[in-house]
Amino acid sequence: MNASFAPPRPLIDRYGRTISYLRISVTDRCDFRCVYCMAEDMVFLPKKDVLSFEEVEAIASAFVARGTTKIRLTGGEPLVRRDIMDLVRSLGSRIGSGLDELTITTNGSQLAKHAEGLFAAGVRRINVSLDTLDAERFAAITRRGRLPDVMAGIEAAQAAGLAIKINMVAMRGVNDDEIEPMMAWAHGKGMGLTLIEGMPLGEVGIDRVDSYLPLRELHDRLARRYTLTRLDKQTGGPARYVHVAETGGVLGF
């Protein structure tokens, strides 16, 4: 007797929205210690508590079978995980077979050596976290990072053909004087920019009350100087996007 099985049903949340976008954190480890993100003496999970590549692939397969078309790899810093490119290549091989897009969010420190491999594996777009263009300020915010490494990574990624969106955590009294210069720089290089509010993540290295900068305040500030036109752009995340007439680029809030 031949049994017939109905195909898996799409994942739909209580508000009737189809779940088509999955973010997978492949590690909690990072080579930076950004003041708004983690304590300098951060204790990371033991290896046994982190998803294995086999588990990540099983999760990805289950979600793709239920209608997920986009997967983003995050961390921590995903590119510091040992043999991460093996996972990227494996997931990338699913593009065109249920999966439409594989993307990654990175701090850019390891990007120079992985950019070509990411493109070869099927990645076409990445997000790079960058909060300042000033080397001294960058060192103070990240507590370990080097701005030239990130800039080299961005250059390598663009040379490899990867589209880039910059994610900038906006902090009052820390980098709020760089919002406009960051936008001009990113848009001038053909990259998008998304501004992000600082989020409470436990004991870190910055006073979030003093540094908190609401996105509404930023939007109003920029709207007084630039022509912002709302875009109907759906990415699966909370950001809302506008086109900036004066720079020709896209800005997210």
Q: Which domain holds residue 186?
A: 21-252
The predicted-structure confidence for 186-222, as pLDDT tens digits, reads as follows: 999 999 999 999 876 655 556 667 889 999 999 999 9
Residue 14 falls inside a structural domain? no
Could you give the CA distance from residue 132 to residue 182 in angstroms, rounded to a whole number?
A: 7
Residue 133 domain-assigned (yes or no): yes
Q: Is residue 170 part of a domain?
A: yes
- Number of domains the chain contains: 1
CA 9 → CA 14, 18, 56, 60, 61, distances in Å? 15, 10, 21, 16, 14
Single-letter code of the amino acid located at 72: R
> Quick check: is 16 in a domain?
no
Within a domain: 223: yes
Q: Does residue 26 lie in a domain region?
A: yes
* pLDDT number for residue 238: 75
pLDDT in the model for residue 198: 85
In-domain check, residue 208: yes
Could you tell me what percent of the chain has a pLDDT over 70? 93
Q: Does residue 12 form part of some domain? A: no
Q: What is the CATH number of the domain that holds 33?
A: 3.20.20.70
Mean pLDDT on 167-192 = 98
List residues bridging with 251 in a β-sheet. 193, 242
Rounded Cα gap, residues 165 and 154, in angstroms: 10
